[in-house]
Amino acid sequence: MSLQVLTYLFIGLSFGLYIGIAIWCRSASTNEFYVAGSHVSPLANGAATAADWMSAASFLSMAGIIAFEGADGARYLMGWTGGYVLLALLLAPYLRKFSKYTVPDFVGDRYYSQTARLVAVVCVIFISFTYVAGQMRGVGIVFSRFLEVDINIGVLVGMAIVFFYAVLGGMKGITYTQVAQYCVLIFAYLVPAIYISLMLTGNPLPMLGFGSTMNDGSGVYLLDRLDGLTTELGMAAFTAGNKSTVDMFFITAALMAGTAGLPHVIVRFFTVPRVRDARISAGYALVFIALLYTTAPAVAAFARINIINNVEGMSYKGAPDWFSKWEDSGLIAWLDKNGDGKVQYRGGDALIPVKPEYLESRGSSGERQLANKASSSANELYIDRDIIVLAHPEIAQLPNWVVALVAAGGLAAALSTAAGLLLVISTAVSHDLLKKTFMPQINERQELLFARIAAAFAVAIAGLFGIYPLGFVAEVVAFAFGLAAASFFPVILLGIFSRRMNREGAISGMIVGLTFTFSYIVYFKFVSPQANNAANWWFGISPEGIGTLGMILNFMVSLVVSRFTPPPPADVQNMVENIRVPR
């Protein structure tokens, strides 16, 4: 069968599975809609947590960034996995014992303040919409290439699927849908990685093939070969790090603390019956996550080698079908700077700006004409980092069914996280904003209706972010982690481990941390993007890592303000002590 037919088949079957699960698990109460009735087994919750946490950034973009940045891309691996351990050990069991529906619920009750609850709701909405923007972009990329539809149409289809099982099933439907999505995405990620590892190194385990010798009898290690190829073409060695130590530290710390403060991951631990089950499910999730994260560096290295071997020096007129298909989607572009009709892949950007915009006319070699100006570098090839995982099986000439499977996996990763984020937004609106603040008189049936309406509005706004993307998937997601680190992490950590922490400190800290981090990101990414370089950053910290500084400001403001204001009431202090009792 052709690739397109197989892709329609695989995606259609996976979508049918997700919808069927949503119908089977539809929520009938707010308890089921918010936390799946707290009846999810640790194993199922571990798989659902892994799917919720491993978003389009993990599946699509992380390996792409590592492929292009080399050792510098390890900040995502270290930050996200380290942050999950932080969450599992320091926060999840204690928050489960608190037995509430949402993070703003914890903040509001722990800090005995409706104002604190409202600030937390604002933080949830900021973080979740920033994060969901990356997921919807991932959905559009998959649809635009493999189903050969416009990216915007792909986003709309993804919105419809998420709308169906998020609005109908709530957390109960989302949980079991995410279990299925984890199975799809991990199988789709590992199968091509195993194929290519065997082809390049003869080792069936990609994480070991990454450190093995090439399969060509030369005895050269794969990473040495890759370093040699990249330096010959005027690029930095794959194993060399170019980012400053300060920026790497701050980005990694922001990703770690941001992971521990992500509301859509935290709420997953409210779905299990007991505190003990929260710890067990965290362990299962870490194993499930490790399967992908230990494979990602190998996928990145394999992809970089195959791109150089198959694209550099290639005649454009004789380019394989996959090249023209990705070119049609606007995610690969070639600009014949020296007029030889061949692709010259070198260091530096091919275009200014990097993202290409197309005209209808064709160049002398048949390439799409670009509305952008060429950069001054010798590089003629633009490759969007978000397509590396999706395009690699085609570049390596794997069977069509493997390529179609990867497309289904990419959609599973994006949709699973998008659904969790949208549910968090709808819960924050219906439970924390309406039920607990402005409309306390509504009954459970009305609250459930408002939750579904809020979810529908959230899906629509998320679709707009997918149609008008903010940047690369992993880059956008990194901003969400920075916002989470600067707002939620200090307040939750101090709320659990400090009896003296009070409402004035929590509110002040959240406002300062979120405002500072959000302003810094907006300034360098949107207000003055031309100034977005190390020479203009505060202390050499990029917008990706500024969440760590925002977190430090949050801690400082929270502790100082709480020190000079009245302590929490005795019942709140007793509640904090009770949360920490390990039973």
User: Could you tell me the pLDDT band of residue 556, with boundaries at 50, 70 and 90?
Assistant: very high
User: Could you tell me the pLDDT band of residue 548, with boundaries at 50, 70 and 90?
Assistant: very high
The beta strands (E) that lie in 344-447 are given as: 351-352, 358-362, 368-370, 373-374, 381-383
Query: Per residue in 230-282, pLDDT tens?
Result: 888 888 888 887 788 899 999 999 888 887 777 777 778 878 888 788 888 88
For residue 192 the two structure tokens come to: 């091509």
Give residue 581's pLDDT: 67
Q: Which residue has the higher pLDDT, 305 or 582?
A: 305
**Phi (first) and psi of residue 100, to 5 degrees:** -120, 175
For residue 163 the two structure tokens come to: 């709308």
Rounded CA-CA distance 498/504 in Å is 14
SS3 574: helix
User: Could you tell me the pLDDT band of residue 345, with boundaries at 50, 70 and 90?
Assistant: confident
Residues 81-90: what's their mean pLDDT?
82
Instruction: Kindly report the average pLDDT of the chain as a whole number.
Output: 83
Rounded CA-CA distance 454/423 in Å is 9
Give residue 582's pLDDT: 54
Give residue 517's pLDDT: 92
Is the confidence at residue 310, as pLDDT, over 60? yes
Give residue 240's pLDDT: 82
**Residue 247: partners with Cβ closer than 8 Å, 6 or more residues away:** 534, 537, 540, 541, 542, 545
Give residue 478's pLDDT: 65
Give residue 373's pLDDT: 67
Other residues' Cβ atoms within 10 Å of the Cβ of residue 430: 28
Give residue 184's pLDDT: 92
Give residue 440's pLDDT: 84
User: Could you tell me the pLDDT band of residue 352, with boundaries at 50, 70 and 90?
Assistant: low
- Pick from 266-270, 384-388, 414-418, 504-508 the range whose average pLDDT is largest: 504-508
Is the confidence at residue 284, as pLDDT, over 80? yes
Give residue 135's pLDDT: 74
Quick check: 238 and 229 in contact, CB under 8 A?
no
Helix-strand-coil percent breakdown of the chain, rounded to 5?
A: 70, 5, 25
Is the confidence at residue 332, as pLDDT, over 80? yes
**Residue 428: partners with Cβ closer than 8 Å, 6 or more residues away:** 102, 104, 121, 124, 125, 263
User: Could you tell me the pLDDT band of residue 297, with boundaries at 50, 70 and 90?
Assistant: very high
Rounded CA-CA distance 43/21 in Å is 17
| Largest Cα span, the chain | 78
Residues 70-87: what's their mean pLDDT?
84
Residues 430-451: what's their mean pLDDT?
84
Is the confidence at residue 358, as pLDDT, over 60? no
Query: Per residue in 185-237, pLDDT tens?
Result: 999 999 999 999 999 999 999 999 888 999 888 889 999 999 988 888 888 88
- Pick from 169-173, 188-192, 331-335, 470-474 the range whose average pLDDT is largest: 188-192
Q: How big is the chain by its Cα radius of gyration, in Å? A: 24
SS3 213: strand
Quick check: 42 and 275 in contact, CB under 8 A?
no
For residue 5 the two structure tokens come to: 């037919």
pTM: 0.83
What residues are paired with 368 via a beta bridge? Answer: 362
The four Cα atoms 535, 537, 540, 546 give a dihedral, to 10 degrees, of -160
Residues 82-106: what's their mean pLDDT?
79
Percent over 70 (pLDDT), the chain: 91
For residue 213 the two structure tokens come to: 């010798």
Residues 46-69: what's their mean pLDDT?
83
Give residue 355's pLDDT: 53
User: Could you tell me the pLDDT band of residue 148, with boundaries at 50, 70 and 90?
Assistant: confident
Give residue 101's pLDDT: 66
- Pick from 5-19, 63-77, 191-205, 323-337 the range whose average pLDDT is largest: 191-205
Is the confidence at residue 551, as pLDDT, over 70? yes
Query: Per residue in 366-400, pLDDT tens?
Result: 666 666 667 778 888 888 787 888 888 988 888 98
